[in-house]
Homo-oligomer: A and B are copies of this chain.
Amino acid sequence: MYRFASFFSPEEIEQIHEASLEILEDVGLLVRNEKARSVFARRGCRVDNQTTLVKIPRQVVEDCRSSFVPNYKFIAQDPQYDVVLPDDRPVIVTGSSAPNIIDPKTGEERRATSTDIANIAHLINELPGFDVFSISTLADDAPEGQFALSRFYPALKNCKKPVRSNTPTIKDLEMVLELGEIIAGSKEAYMERPFINHHYCPVVSPLTMDVESTEAIIYLTEKGLPVYGTIVPNAGMSAPMSLMGTLVLGNAEFLALSTLIQSIRPGAPMIYAVLSTVADMRTGDYAPGAIETGILQMAHTEMARFYNVPSGGYIGLTNSHCNDAQSGYETGMNVTAALLAGADLFNMGGLLSSLMTFDYAKAVIDNEIALMLKRITRGMEFSKENMCLDLIKEVGPGGNYMDKMHTLKNMKTTAVLPKVANRQGRGHWEEEGRPDSHARALAEAKKILMQDNPARFPAELDAKIRSHFPGIVPGDCKW
């Protein structure tokens, strides 16, 4: 792109930034985590340990801004899958941590298990649109004390792309890092290429930092391991019923979290990630699929560009419970809007029902949407040669390009050639039994999952892991 779409003039951007600084300085935020309060205190913030209220002077925020860095890297087990923001934009990530899954055999919703995670990991490894596997579901069969391990193990065992997720406690986090070290071969090897990518939502809007997620962010930042947070204000509930109000509040929350991270380790890579939404106040329903989510993402992305930090978030979600037109346009419109505003990261794949439910067909459909986003990013490919003036002269008025060498040479690369999107005529489609995109996508998922998984761990490594963590889930694909 020569230029991204934007809502704001440079002066308006400054005013939004100023408003967020005013919130942090005058209103402050509740910081429930004691270590975080100490960090803020040492940095020169006004901290009340009784009420846990922390007020951040504007100069502290501005000082921290000076150590923001413009890149963020997702490291993979296999280095060929490493991705860097913003260079490799758009970076497409699965949606994550859904408690439920649509069972691919019955079509019914049920609790997800560690075996589902293994299957999904295999699928995501094979779908070229996805760059990062954020572990899509929880694991209902996790043994006691192995909640996070039961998610990361099947994911890492079956997917060589960067794996991303969160952990509920520091104990879980340490167990996951141990797993990483075993896979890497040693602690040192893991620290050199930390291929487990951590993510948390430490800020509860409005203006509250929690205990556990904040602790994990501090822990990982201190160690120099990759971690970032997502800011999730919900207009009408935890934020003002105004897009501008939600933006300045969410922006203040991003700056507060950034101040914490940069105070611990100046230059620590970050992503300005959000899931800013507007509640449907007719019912109070959460509406992450609404177009306002895309508009807010665009606005936050503009602020991220002002701060020179990569941006993105949970964008491209749907409220729909099935792969209908709504699921298509909610995902499609919001990611396209975010992309053209310059967002780098898209947590968009595979979830229905407002983050509650994973669906295989949705993941395959979203893979095609991802490929379309990448095609938009490639853009028009301006060049003298691509203008084809000689060819246009050769074919002339009234001619045909179908049988030209140039056409044959470029027919597989000029356009996305989708597998799910149907382009055949109606007659042919009716003969095939009128398969809709859900049916076509589910068939494609099944085809992939019935093949061997080339990404799977070697047996020796697996034996080592299994003896290190007694009682660990099988972690294998089963289809």
Contact = CB atoms under 8 A, between A and B. Distances in A.
Given A237-B400, A242-B388, A291 B382 contact: no
Contact of A243 (B291, B393, B414): B414
A429 B68 CA distance: 45
Given A375-B292, A382-B12, A236 B411 contact: yes
Residue from A22, A26, A283, A396 with most neighbouring chain B CB atoms (10 Å): A396
B206 A399 contact: yes
A398 interface: yes
Interface of A: 1-9, 12, 15-16, 19, 22-23, 26-30, 53, 109, 204, 206-208, 235-245, 247-249, 278, 280-287, 289-292, 294-295, 299, 319-333, 335-337, 340-341, 353-354, 356-357, 362, 365, 369, 372, 375-376, 379-384, 386-389, 391-393, 395-402, 404, 406-407, 409-412, 414-418, 420-426, 429-430, 434, 436-438, 441
A429 to B, nearest CB: 5
A15 B386 CA distance: 12
A296 to B, nearest CB: 8
Nearest to A246: B388
B27 A278 contact: no
A207 B398 contact: yes
Contact of A401 (B1, B240, B391): B240
Contact of A3 (B3, B333, B354): B3
Contacts of A430: 321
Nearest to A397: B207
B325 A327 contact: yes
A80 B290 CA distance: 29
Contacts of A4: 3, 5
A281 B423 CA distance: 11
Nearest to A396: B27
Contacts of A424: 283, 285
Contact of A372 (B2, B291, B397): B291
Contact of A421 (B207, B319, B396): B319
A401 B241 contact: yes
Residue from A284, A285, A289, A290 with most neighbouring chain B CB atoms (10 Å): A290
Contacts of A391: 240, 245
Contact of A239 (B1, B207, B401): B401
Nearest to A12: B382
B291 A426 contact: no
Given A27-B392, A206-B397, A416-B290, A3 B6 contact: yes
Given A245-B392, A319-B422, A208 B328 contact: no
A418 B109 CA distance: 25
Given A23-B389, A328-B328, A329-B332, 8 more contacts: A1-B7, A208-B397, A240-B391, A241-B407, A243-B381, A281-B411, A294-B336, A320-B422
Contacts of A237: 400-402
Contacts of A28: 397
A369 B244 contact: no
Contacts of A384: 15
A15 to B, nearest CB: 8
Contacts of A332: 328-330, 332-333, 336
